[in-house]
Amino acid sequence: MLVNSINDLAAIVRGRRLRLGLSQAQAATRAGVSRQWVGALESGKPTAELGLVLGLLDALELNLDLAARDGEGRSAASVDLDAVLEEHRGP
């Protein structure tokens, strides 16, 4: 999933926690943080400590994958579907 803001990250974390059937308190215990901290992150707290965020992601069995962007702001691994279709279009 592409994360462009703290709100994107908050929504992903909350969604994953709910899919795992965990309360904020249970997720907090797994990650070694307080329930209040989990609640603040899920609310989009912009100053969350990266180490704690990574710990929560690990507790929720999520990986963080970073990718370089090209000069136009797209992920370098992205594909221009229109260009691919044009290349394979018959005469």
The CATH number that applies at residue 83 is 1.10.260.40
The residue range of the domain holding 32 is 6-87
Strand-pairing partners, residue 75, are 69
Q: Give the per-residue pLDDT at 33.
A: 97
Domain count, the chain: 1
Chain centroid, CA 84 distance in Å = 28
Q: pTM above the 0.75 mark?
A: no
SS3 content of the chain, % helix, strand, coil (to 5): 50, 0, 45
- Tell whether 51 is covered by a domain: yes
**In percent, how much of the chain has pLDDT > 70?**
81
Q: pLDDT of 14-47, one tens digit each?
A: 999 999 999 999 999 999 999 999 999 999 999 9
- Tell whether 1 is covered by a domain: no
Q: For residue 43, which amino acid is it?
A: S
